Amino acid sequence: MLLLVPFVLFAATVGAAVPSTQGFDESTIAKVRANMINISTHSWELGAMAQALTELEVPSLSVFSNNKLPPPQSLSAQVRAEAVDVFNLATRIVREKPANSSVLIDGDGAAGDPASLGVAVALTGWTRENRSDSSFDVAAQEQLDHLLNDVPRDANGAISQREDQVQLWADYVFMAPPFIAYEGALKTGDEQLELLREAYDQCRDYREVLSDDSGLWKHILLGTGIQDLTHWGTGNAWAAAGMLRVLETITHSDAAWAFEQETRNLTSWVTDIVSATWHHQGRNGTLFNVIDDPTTFADSSSTALLAASTYRLATITNDFTWIGFADKALQLIKNSIDKDGWLLNTVDPETFNTPSLPGAHSPEGQTFVILLHTAQQDFLEHIGL
């Protein structure tokens, strides 16, 4: 029965192709993970890595598990052991944070990026064994207060991705709203409702400015200096993956009842990106650096995170329309990892519009492979394969 029900569900939805179960092998994932840890240094890279380590090593504490939020404050010895890498990362961040800093880590002018470490820090504080050590809770709260009260906002309410001016980047949606939502899930009463609503509003406000009729999001708008009006693959991937985390955080919180329309909207906004993306997939499974411009180069980073988001979305909605595209993308990613566990053919994450230089590797690309692996595994488990 357990096997039959998901299979029937699946067959009824698409009828045709059976999803590929050919995932990554464990030794590849081990190498990809070691390289990710070795080269991730920037605030957003560490925040994305914290999410990847959570999904890979302690999935019961990920917002994508079916467990209710907040998690238990007292963890079993087994879960505590699984969580050691996440806790160690959060501990390092909090111990190294200067006493006069209201953000978790230097964001080099970015307001959203340091917040990407917030979930790991808040989780570590919530589940800590030493109940008289409030350093994690204090650090997470200061980061949250800074984001909500000090960072400039657009007229529509969107909190800027930059500290010194109002500028919206699609990337922000993965960095800040999932943390705001998670803080909401850990709180109660009005404070909980306000934070969950703020996380949703941030997604809505960013989408209002950055998305267009294509269904895709532009990368960077407003403010002065750098602008990127293209449908950057990685930007769309950050937006989809971030909204999925907000969606699942709200869904698993005990205030989910108050957000029915909001969770429906988040689901449809992720669907907009996913459905607009795969029409542009190359024959070999790749996406291009600018999703709807095949004259740009093939980019494995965005391909990995958009495929991951496609598996996550299908696991939530039971709509398997785009799974065949994600399966094909996953095979391309498998074939794009060298024997040492490096993802090849990535975009340079700091130029946005050139490939990584020969011999250089993308820290976030390594992380996206892990997120793809965990999303595919959870999808296969969901459909009983």
Ligand X SMILES: *[C@@H]1O[C@H](CO)[C@@H](O)[C@H](O)[C@H]1NC(C)=O
Which residues in this chain contact ligand X in the complex, by CB under 6 A?
34, 38, 98, 100-101, 130, 132-133, 204, 261-262, 265, 282, 284, 286, 298, 336, 345
Which is closer to ligand X, CB of 98 or CB of 189? 98
Hunting for tokens 């909980």 — which residue is that?
192
Which is closer to ligand X, CB of 180 or CB of 383? 180
Nearest distance from C-beta of residue 284 to ligand X, angstroms: 4
**Non-local CB neighbours of 36 within 8 Å, separated by 6+ positions:** 49, 52, 363, 366, 367, 369, 370
Which is closer to ligand X, CB of 118 or CB of 341? 341
Nearest distance from C-beta of residue 132 to ligand X, angstroms: 5
Nearest distance from C-beta of residue 148 to ligand X, angstroms: 18
How far apart CA 305 and CA 374 sit, in angstroms, is 11
How far apart CA 54 and CA 44 sit, in angstroms, is 15
Nearest distance from C-beta of residue 5 to ligand X, angstroms: 31
Which is closer to ligand X, CB of 107 or CB of 378? 107
Total residue count of the chain as it appears in this document: 385
Which is closer to ligand X, CB of 41 or CB of 261? 261
Which is closer to ligand X, CB of 227 or CB of 284? 284
Q: What is residue 286's three-state secondary structure?
A: coil
Hunting for tokens 């024997």 — which residue is that?
339
Which is closer to ligand X, CB of 62 or CB of 211? 211
How far apart CA 333 and CA 311 sit, in angstroms, is 15
How far apart CA 312 and CA 374 sit, in angstroms, is 9
Reading the block at residue 152, the tokens are 């400039």
Nearest distance from C-beta of residue 379 to ligand X, angstroms: 23
Nearest distance from C-beta of residue 341 to ligand X, angstroms: 9
Which is closer to ligand X, CB of 163 or CB of 378? 163
Which is closer to ligand X, CB of 293 or CB of 381? 293
How far apart CA 63 and CA 10 sit, in angstroms, is 24
Nearest distance from C-beta of residue 268 to ligand X, angstroms: 8
Nearest distance from C-beta of residue 130 to ligand X, angstroms: 4
Nearest distance from C-beta of residue 340 to ligand X, angstroms: 9
How far apart CA 216 and CA 44 sit, in angstroms, is 22
Q: How far apart are the first and last CA of the chain?
A: 13
How far apart CA 102 and CA 250 sit, in angstroms, is 26
| Burial class of residue 26 (count of CB atoms within 10 Å of its CB; 0-12, 13-18, 19+) | exposed
Which is closer to ligand X, CB of 41 or CB of 190? 41
**Non-local CB neighbours of 269 within 8 Å, separated by 6+ positions:** 203, 207, 211, 243
In the chain, the DSSP E strands lie at 168-169, 220-221, 287-288, 298-299
How far apart CA 166 and CA 156 sit, in angstroms, is 11
Q: Is 315 left (phi over 0), alpha (psi -120 to 50) or beta?
A: alpha
Nearest distance from C-beta of residue 344 to ligand X, angstroms: 7
